[in-house]
Every structure is written in C-alpha cells, then in structure tokens.
Amino acid sequence: MSADALPLRLAAIRRHERRRATGVVVALLAAIVVFVACEVVVGGSADIPLSDIPLAAIGRGEGLAHYVVFETRMPRALTAVLAGALFGLAGQIYQRLVGNVLATPDILGISAGAAAAATAVLTLGIVGVGVQLAAVGGSLVVGIAVFALSWRGGVAPYRLVLVGIGLGACASAVTTYLVTRADEMSVERALRWMIGSLSGADWQGVGILAATFAFGGVAAIALAPALRTFALGDDLAAGLGTRVSRVRFGALLLGAALAAIATSITGPIGFVALVSGPLASRLTGRADAPLVAAIVGAAVVSAADLVSQTAPLIAPVPTGSITAIVGAPVLIYLLIRTRRTP
C-alpha cells in the first residue's frame, strides 16, 4: 500500500467504525423503547385497558390507570433503564482502569460494601440513616479502602483486584452475620434488597438516577482519553503526560459512586456491570465504548425486569435473579477466554 493510500484507508476504516457504532446504538435504543413500552403495558398484575395507558403514561390518566401506570409502572421502567446504564458505565470504567474485563464493582467489593451497609440499617434498625445513604457510604468506604490498601508508591492493577476481592469477602461476611442475627421481618427485607429488585421504584429515585447518569456520562467522557493510555502500561502512560495515580483514584471513585447510587435505589443487580462492557466492545468493534456500555446495561436490566414480571411459571421474581441466571455463564465464558489469551 502506497503512502498516499494509507490515510484514505484509515479514514475509510474510521467511517466504517462510526457507522457500525451508530447502527448498534440505534438498535439498542429501539430495543429499550420496546422493553419500556412492554413494561408499561403488561408489567405487574393489574389489568388496565389498553386505551387508558397512553394518557396515564404521561400523567394525564385518572383513577386506577393513573396510579398503576404513572406511579408504578413508568417509574419502574425508567429506573431499570437508568440503573442499568449506571451499572454498565461503572463496569466499563473499572474494566478500562484495571485492563481486565473481569474487573467490575462486583469483583472489587464495591457492591458488597453497599450491601453490608444497607443490611446493617435494615437489620439493626439504625435511626436517622436511610438505606440509600448507607449503601452509598458503604460503597465509597470500600472504594477508598481498596485504593489505600493497594498503594505502594503507586497502585498496580493486580493489587486493586486482589485487595478488592478480599474486602468484598469481608463485607459479604458482615452481611451474612447481620442476616443470621436479625428477626424474620428484617431478614426478608434485607434478602430482597440484596438480590436486587425494582419493586417500589418511584419518581424520586428516577430523578436521582437521571442526575447521576448526566454527571457520570460527562465525567466518563472526560476521563476516557487518560484511561486509554493505561492500556500502554503505567510507565508509558506517565510518559505521555497522564497522572496515573490521580486518574486511577478519580476513576475508582467515579465508578464506585455510579455503582453505589444505582445500588442504593435497586439493590446490587449482579453481573450487569460485568457483561455490558464486553458486549459493547463486541458489538461496536471498539475496546473503549463507555456510553455504548451504558446503553447495553440499560437494555440488559430493562429486558431482565420485563422477564422478571411476565415470564411464565417463575414471575414475579427479583430482577437480580434473572441477571444472575444470564450473567453466570457469561462470567465462566470470560474466565475461559481470559485464560486462553496469551
């Protein structure tokens, strides 16, 4: 290939990648719209006439239709979309941060920290501290502890993973202890929250998730160029002007905050952060696609929540149980593929 033809070839490849990414995003957004529409129409057990649903969905319905559709189904459907987007975005940030598709808030103990703190509030009856605030606090405490305990004049990715797994195991042990010591009613509430469920979603939660996603999306885009240099190694990244430790700490806190706030609303819906990044990369052909990963996460949780409400024989079940059924085989596949990668 001549020197003059190379730039043209590269430009053609970039155009093809943009068209492919655009097609993937459009298809995923269309799928999300379909899932949301189906949830609004058939979600739950109440039988609402189809003709009453359009007006009720925009808050102009009356009576039972207004309550069921606008106050129950719409917040739940939008919570599924936004929480899934936050889990997907947080997972992509962590995977780029560590350079491993297995590095997610679930693996690094962030979700376990949220579960332990929230379970403490639910089972011990701590006054003045809400479950959501406790979950966010628990996640951030674990995230900061992971970074601090991994510091040895710098933070190596493998230390982040090992320390995160260890702290996650400690947090899970605390959760188990609290559950075994609690009364039956508190245990039922705690277990339902720990699995991950969208029941009880409301408009306040939707607002919190939307504001978080708006901030997180901008922050993720701003961090993306620095995170790309991590694939070259810390030394070369530093040579290119990246402040490795500061960026790593900032990305760790950002991912923890996004996962924590989503977890505080829905509980720890497992495996969404794990599968969103690899699926986005496979669909777009790009290793770094944070916003596409967010859209994939939104589609995964929306689909899982629809299944959890409507699937024959098993519905209704917590949304997290559906994502676990799908996510566990994906985790095994990623482990096998990672082991085979030279």
> What integer pLDDT is reported at residue 328 of this predicted model?
75
Q: How confident is the model at residue 302 (pLDDT cuts 50, 70, 90)?
A: very high
- Read off the pTM: 0.88
Least confident of 5-14, 21-30, 110-119, 270-279: 5-14
pLDDT digits (tens, 9 = 90+) for 113-137: 888 888 888 888 776 667 778 888 8
> What integer pLDDT is reported at residue 86 of this predicted model?
95
Structure token pair of residue 189: 């509430």
Domain positions in the chain: 78-340
Q: What are phi and psi of 192, to 5 degrees?
A: -65, -40
Contact status, residue 304 vs residue 32, Cβ threshold 8 Å: no
Q: Dihedral through CA 333, CA 108, CA 195, CA 75, nearest 10? A: -100
Helices (H), the chain: 5-42, 53-57, 63-65, 74-98, 110-124, 131-150, 157-181, 184-195, 203-229, 234-239, 244-266, 272-284, 290-310, 319-340
Q: What is the spatial distance between Cα 334 and Cα 157, in angstroms, rounded to a whole number? A: 18
pLDDT digits (tens, 9 = 90+) for 170-197: 998 998 888 888 777 777 777 767 778 8
Tell me the CATH number of domain 78-340, given options 1.10.3470.10, 3.20.20.70, 3.40.50.720, 2.60.40.1120: 1.10.3470.10
pLDDT digits (tens, 9 = 90+) for 256-288: 889 888 988 888 888 898 889 888 888 887 777
> What integer pLDDT is reported at residue 75 of this predicted model?
94
Q: What is the mean pLDDT of the chain?
A: 83
- Compute the half-sphere exposure of residue 202: CA atoms within 13 Å on the CB side of its CA: 3
> What integer pLDDT is reported at residue 148 of this predicted model?
84
> What integer pLDDT is reported at residue 338 of this predicted model?
57
pLDDT digits (tens, 9 = 90+) for 91-109: 999 888 877 777 788 888 8
Contact status, residue 265 vs residue 201, Cβ threshold 8 Å: yes
Between the alpha carbon of residue 150 and those of residues 92, 158, 162, the distances in Å are: 21, 9, 9
Percent of all residues in the chain with a pLDDT value above 90, rounded to a whole number: 22
Residue 88's closest CA among 76, 105, 109?
105
